[in-house]
Structure 1
Amino acid sequence: MINQATGIEAIELGLSRLKRMCPSGFALGLHIRFASARIMIQTYDPRWIDRYTARGYMMCDPLISWGIGSTGCVRWSEMNHPDPHDILGQAMEFGCRYGVAISEGPTGSRSIGGFARGDREFTDAEMQALAATVKALHRDSTPRTDVTKGQRHALRTIAAGHRYAEAAVLLGISESALKARLKACRERLMARTTAEAIQRAQELHLL
């Protein structure tokens, strides 16, 4: 099993790889649960992102609809999903003329993405590379749940609003030991901050 510090680095490398393969950008939601992604990355033209968001297209996006009901990889031109708002047609205005949709993972925690370029269709080999990268990102962004009892107590105490010094006294440990436990929590839960670790621990019912 990879450690989570390495996992964060792997995610960054994977996202850099996707950027190189998608000249017109991409949007990728990792571990979507209850209509919300654990990690959301968008590199499309900001004007397209603004229009998409303002008009609430996420609720009727054919790529998302396809990804919820299917797994795998498909060219946009080969999809047979309703697009009443012509979302794919509008995307062409912003350089997203050709694209690929990819869906990975179980229904309860699925990763779905759209990947675009403006000059030509993605080749089969490029599609395979994109799918392999998304699969790796899905795997590497899965938070570990093997948080120890002591680490959970440290996180719970900070979540209750105590400062580090106060939390250490309450737990009967040194402040440096408290910080070490919180760091371990962040690494296991793939969080960059303690606040983010608290949120993820709550989502996973660890607190």
Structure 2
Amino acid sequence: MSDTTELTRLFAQLRAASPAGYSVGLHIRFASPLVAEATYDPKWLEHYTANAYALRDPMIAWGLSCEGQTRWSEIELPDPFNLWRQAAEFGLNYGIAVSCGPVQSRTIIGCARADREFTDQEITKIATIARTLHEISEPQTDLTQAQIQALRCIAGGDRHAAAAAKLGISESALKARLVSARERLMARTTSEAIQKAKEIKLL
């Protein structure tokens, strides 16, 4: 089973365990996660993004300063923008936060429900999923020279045919290198693979 398939399976488990949705930031580096996904109400996500609440979110502040898991109601940090109250208006009445990994590559996951607090058993299950997601999404720190060359050509603006000609290989061979680079970096697209390769100083 590939890591991307395993990620999909774990995200499905997280979705089932989070009736009001979840937010995931895997391996947050330089304030940006290598993998991000959210299933909260789209209107809340739009409101959250438009107001740059990630910079003001008590859950994220807790996750960057602590490791472990906790209910949102147990996070004793200032909330000057009333994010908890605003989130509740979109059905995110109760939630938990899970944080794991070193601070320079931290994973933070939030899960929500509208009806009640999460039980201890539910929190333990979600924390296990979170730690597994963190482990299997550990970014690769190396690519083959062939993969790097292929990504570098595309990053430089070459189309597939031009990049293949520049490298002296067939277009299908170039595409195979790009696919393998995407798989290694757990990227959905070539542009995402290029971005991830830049973030870990491979390009």
Asked whether the 8 Å contact 2:70–2:96 carries over to 1, the reply is yes
| 1:109-188 matched pairs, under 5 angstroms | 109-188=105-184
Structure 2 counterpart of 1:63: 59
| 1:53-92 matched pairs, under 5 angstroms | 53-92=49-88
- Deviation digits for residues 149-192 of structure 1 (CA, Å, limit 9, x no counterpart): 12211221222222323222322223332222222111111112
Long gaps (5+) in structure 2: none
1:23 to 2:19 alignment: yes
Which of 2, 6, 12 is the matching residue for 1:6? 2
- Give distance in 1, aligned partners of 2:16 and 2:113: 11
- Deviation digits for residues 65-85 of structure 1 (CA, Å, limit 9, x no counterpart): 100100100011222111122
- Give distance in 2, aligned partners of 1:19 and 1:157: 38
Asked whether the 8 Å contact 1:25–1:43 carries over to 2, the reply is yes
The 1:48/1:168 distance shift into structure 2, 3 A limit, reads closer
Per-residue deviation at 1:33? Answer: 1.5
| SS of 1:94 mapped into structure 2 | coil
Per-residue deviation at 1:7? Answer: 0.9
The 1:84/1:184 distance shift into structure 2, 3 A limit, reads same
Query: After TM superposition, which residue ranges in structure 1, 4 or more long, deviate above 3 angstroms?
Result: none
- Deviation digits for residues 130-157 of structure 1 (CA, Å, limit 9, x no counterpart): 0111111112222223311122112212
The 1:50/1:158 distance shift into structure 2, 3 A limit, reads closer
- The alignment covers a number of residue pairs equal to 203
Which of 92, 95, 108 is the matching residue for 1:99? 95
Comparing 54-63 and 72-81, the one that deviates more: 54-63
The 1:161/1:50 distance shift into structure 2, 3 A limit, reads closer
What TM-score does the superposition give when structure 1 sets the normalisation length?
0.90
- Give distance in 1, aligned partners of 2:166 and 2:48: 48
Identity of aligned residues (%): 52
The 1:23/1:195 distance shift into structure 2, 3 A limit, reads same
- Give distance in 2, aligned partners of 1:180 and 1:46: 35
